[in-house]
Each structure stands twice: as C-alpha cells, then as structure tokens.
Structure 1
Amino acid sequence: MKFRFNHNNFNILDLEKSLKFYQEALGLVEVKRFEPPSGDFILVYLGDGVTEHSLELTWLKERTKPYDLGENEFHVAFMVDDFEAAYERHKKMGCICYENKEMGIYFINDPDNYWLEIVPQK
C-alpha cells in the first residue's frame, strides 16, 4: 500500500480575488472545477503545470466572515527556480508577510491570510 499527496485545501471568501492572486503570485491555473446544481459551494483545483499536486479552493455561498486561522502555524510551500525574481514580484505585490534571511526563505499571504512559503530551488 502506497500513499501519495493529492491536494491541499483552503476555504476562501472571494473566489475571483483568490484565483487572480494565485495566478499572479504563483502562476497557478485552474485544472478542475466542481459546482453542484444547488450553487451552495464551488470547488476549484489549481495546478502548477509540473506536478500532479493541486490546491483546492473552496468557496461557500453563505460564508460572509473571515475564517479563523488560529495562530496560522500551517502553510503550503512552493519551490521556485528564480528566487530573486519571485521575491521582487511578491514585494511589488505587497504580499510578503515574513522573511527568514538566515534560512533563505520568505512567506507571502493570500487574500484570506493563508501563508505560503517560498523556497529557492536547490
């Protein structure tokens, strides 16, 4: 028996705002969508075009208040081949929320304040 990663999920408040952010910040594109006939929710799966792993964004129609992320001690990490260019893009976007220069990494936050770690390709 062998398990493999499939996807991670973030619940979001504004689907279009989140889709725009993930495209602009990380180059993620929609690879799959599920919308039930009731219209109560929408699931959008984003991919990087390289791996099979995806990020599922869940939008709930009735949700109006931000999600409680607790101390926000969880994150998803992305490896990038041009770390300096990525840093400059994210700096220009104003989404860098934490830097650890000693470790050579930084974090950005999405519109719902989920943290995303950016690590250089080694």
Structure 2
Amino acid sequence: MLQFNHFNFNVLDLERSLAFYRQALELETVREKTARDGSFRLVYLGDGETGFLLELTWLRSRTEPYDLGEQEFHLAFRTDRYDALYARHKAMGCVCLENPAMGVYFIEDPDGYWIEIVPARE
C-alpha cells in the first residue's frame, strides 16, 4: 500500500491560519499534537470528504516569516462550487492570481502559501 497522507505548511500564527482555512476552504481540525514543552503544535485539517490532510506546524521559536522561494509549489482544491468560492475569496481579499484561460485562480494564505482553486469538470 502507498497512499497520500498529508501535506505540511509551517505557519507563524496558528490561530490566524486556522481561522483562514476554516473561512476560506471550510477545513476543520481532525487531530492535534502539542509538544510536552510547548515548543511546537501540529494541527491536521481535513475537508470531511477525503482522507487527505493539511498539517499546519507552529514552532514557538520561529518569529521570522518562512522563505517560500519563488512560489513554484502550491496546494490545489477541486470544487463544484467554484463561483461561490470565488466570490467568497474576492470578498476576503485573498485572490492573488487569476488565470481565466485555464479557468482557475489562486488564493494566498496568511503565510504566503498559494492554493489553487480548480472547478470540477465533467
């Protein structure tokens, strides 16, 4: 057996990130792990439909933004509610790139990670 399990984003402000992912993408906490000494927290978010998880990692000692390079990576979500989510994301001010030719757009989370929104196609 070999299956996708989770993808990780390191975040500076865990509560801000949790609020963003709840509002923007309706992700909910599936499980958490906190170090005994409080040095880190892992929060796994799920979509309630697949088994794939987004792990948000918070490190107490981290105070500087993460270097995300040239943004040549991203996470993608497919949806059958493309227009409604697009309107929500525009209202939130998190749409960072639109590609009408491909029929997709990207949002940016509080730490600068890009997330592609792809319409479900038949």
Structure 2 residue 81 is the aligned partner of structure 1 residue 82: yes
SS at match of 1:87: helix
Q: Which residue of 2 aligns with 1:47?
A: 46
Structure 2 residue 38 is the aligned partner of structure 1 residue 33: no
TM-score using structure 1 length: 0.98
Identity value in percent: 60
SS at match of 2:17: helix
- Could you tell me which amino acid in structure 2 is paired with residue 45 of structure 1? Y
1:40-91 superposed Cα distances (whole Å, 9 cap, x missing partner): 0000000000000000000000100000000011000001111110100000
Q: Which residue of 1 aligns with 2:62?
A: 63
Q: Which residue of 2 aligns with 1:14?
A: 13
- Could you tell me which amino acid in structure 2 is paired with residue 103 of structure 1? M
- Could you tell me which amino acid in structure 2 is paired with residue 84 of structure 1? D
SS at match of 1:78: strand
CA RMSD of aligned residues (A): 0.5
Q: Which residue of 1 aligns with 2:103?
A: 104
SS at match of 1:116: strand
TM-score using structure 2 length: 0.98
Q: CA deviation at 1:3?
A: 1.3
Which ranges in structure 2 are unaligned for 5 or more consecutive residues? none
Q: CA deviation at 1:104?
A: 0.2
Q: CA deviation at 1:19?
A: 0.1
SS at match of 2:15: helix
Which ranges in structure 1 are unaligned for 5 or more consecutive residues? none
List structure 1 segments (4+ residues) > 2 angstroms apart after TM superposition: none
1:10-29 superposed Cα distances (whole Å, 9 cap, x missing partner): 00000000000000000000
